[in-house]
Amino acid sequence: MSVKGAVKKTRSINVDCDIFMQPVTMWAETLGMESNASLERRGSLYFSSTVLDTVDHASLTKDHLRTPSPEQKQYAEKLKRERHRSQNETQYADTEVDELFAMLRESESLDEQGDILQYLVDTKGLDYNTGMLEYGKVVTVKDLLKGLYEKACQQKLWGLVRHTAGMLGKRVEDLAKSVTDLLVRQKQITVGMPPNNEHTITAPLPESDLRLLIHEAYGEDDSTAMLTHELLVYLAMFIRTEPQLFLEMLRLRVGLIIQVMATELSRTLICDGDEASEHLLNLSPFEMKHLLYHIISGKEFAVSSVGRGNFSIVSNKSSRISKKSHISLVDSDDSLEPDRQGQWLRRRRLDGALNRVPRDFYPRVWSILERCQGIDIAGKVLPQTLTQEMTPGELKFALAVETVLNTIPQPEYRQLIVEALMVLTLVSEYNVVPSLGGVIQVEYLVHSANELFLDDQMKCDGDATLCCAKPKELRETDRAGGLLCGGAAYICQHFYDSAPSGAYGTMTYMTRAVAVTLNGLPKHGDLDCTIS
């Protein structure tokens, strides 16, 4: 029946899928070819980008929420008609709805009951009269949903608890206080899944407005919306007790953090994205908080099974690898051997998702702007005039840089952009040349470094020869047009998985790319640009 899996169809967590790995342009082209039914299954991806694409997310306030513009109302009505058109075409007749209520009474599976109630909410609404009476009062679909929520709480079915809580419009305790605690410590917050429907919270809001903003960001995905509530409370706990964990973070992108958490579980449990999302949403509140802490702190941890499909996050005491997230499934008493392959790719994904940058990164970018006409990142330009309007240590300048960096949806690609900018700061700090020329295309530098890496891989018959290290005319792509290795933004995954330093390190190739690309640098003689 079309009712089966109704809850799972609302999920919008993407694990290593096209939106997470491919450039924005390719994602947009793929989305344009999908049917309405496919868009509906994407849930929050379609809902938010359509309704709020005329709103300046960076300046979204409670006034925008309470007094939507005529354009917003028009988009909302259009979306509502499109969203329910396919549902109405397949809507059951009244007799079949009665059969659904009969199935609901007879079913002993809470997951099956959840699917039936999800379908009834989608087609009939929360206030639909079921025709049943309890203590002389009419029973609505909402009343049935409340009963399911209480049963799920008793049985500790956390995924169903989160989903039904979202459908009922519940919110976690002290949500507004938690968001304020993050904001007063100069941390911005974004909710929603990247790249096109992230909404930025820059000022404290009442709890009702916060809930509305979060649920609009995720559309029909009530599970992830409630998980966002939960993670905001945990983040506030951490920043109060261990503020040093957030020193190098300016903006906390909750949607991207959720994707990385699911990706780690997918890699650990060797399962696909849907299963990983299911495991993530079914973690107990304690284990969810534990997993988030380990990802933010960069500590090693493992996942052990404790039966009934539940998992426990345990600290990995091994000291062989420092400051690296390492997850492995504990099934035996064998010693944990850290898997070095994928270490730096995972590190870059985690740092990119957390928006972590090197110390004094923003003042260093300011010094680059002093010596060029601008910095171009993903089509967005930071002009030199910013150095005349703002000081190096000004928060407003850091936010301007962060806003440009956040246009990049792939966290590992974002980190390579950060590394390229750090190499450019070396040229500025060592006074190699008085000027770096016109507008610097940072993405071009990264792709040039990738080409230099592939050239060396062909010469030494490295691992990348299995995928990208071939002459350009012989390189193969997958069906979607991406790289065979799955590298984001057409950068070889082996390049992402290279250490920053060393003869074959990413920053070494970045330095070579800068020396070859920028016209202002000397073409002959020795150039001192030591990478520390």
Q: What is the DSSP string of 465-519?
A: GGTT-S-GGG--B-TTSSBTT--GGG--HHHHTS-SSSTT-HHHHHHHHHHHH-T
Cross-strand bridge partners of residue 315: 301
Helix (H/G/I), strand (E/B), else coil: 58: helix
Helix and strand numbers (H, E) in the chain are 24, 11
User: In the prediction, which pLDDT does 161 show?
Assistant: 93
Residues above pLDDT 70, as percent of the chain: 75
Most confident of 200-209, 229-238, 302-311: 229-238
User: In the prediction, which pLDDT does 173 show?
Assistant: 85
User: In the prediction, which pLDDT does 205 show?
Assistant: 92
User: In the prediction, which pLDDT does 106 show?
Assistant: 83
Pairing, β 329-330 against β 372-377: unpaired
Burial of 11 (0-12, 13-18, 19+ CB in 10 A): buried
User: In the prediction, which pLDDT does 527 show?
Assistant: 52
Give 520 or 518, the one with higher predicted confidence: 518
Give 236 or 63, the one with higher predicted confidence: 236
Helix (H/G/I), strand (E/B), else coil: 389: helix
- What's the pLDDT tens digit per position in 127-180? 878 777 777 788 888 999 899 999 999 999 999 999 999 999 888 888 999 999
Average pLDDT over residues 335-360: 77
Average pLDDT over residues 276-295: 90
- What's the pLDDT tens digit per position in 360-392? 899 999 999 988 899 999 889 999 999 999 999
pLDDT band for position 488 (cuts 50, 70, 90): confident
Gyration radius of the chain's alpha carbons: 25
Q: For the ranges 68-72, 95-99, 335-339, which has the lowest average pLDDT?
A: 335-339
Among 384, 352, 380, smallest CA distance to 368 is for 384
User: In the prediction, which pLDDT does 241 show?
Assistant: 94
Return mean pLDDT, the chain.
76
- What's the pLDDT tens digit per position in 384-413? 999 999 999 898 999 999 989 988 888 899
Average pLDDT over residues 510-529: 70
The helix (run of H) or strand (run of E) holding residue 138 is strand 137-140
Residue 234 to residues 187, 213, 230, 293, Cα–Cα distance (Å) = 14, 19, 7, 8
User: In the prediction, which pLDDT does 477 show?
Assistant: 80
Q: For the ranges 15-24, 50-59, 164-173, which has the lowest average pLDDT?
A: 50-59
State the Cα–Cα distance between residues 327 and 314, nearest whole angstrom: 10
Neighbour-count burial for 464-477, b at 16+ CB within 10 Å, e otherwise: beebbbeeeeeeee
Strands (E), 316-403: 329-330, 372-377, 380-383
Q: Are the beta carbons of 251 and 196 closer than 8 angstroms? A: no
Residues above pLDDT 90, as percent of the chain: 30
pLDDT at 352 over 70: yes
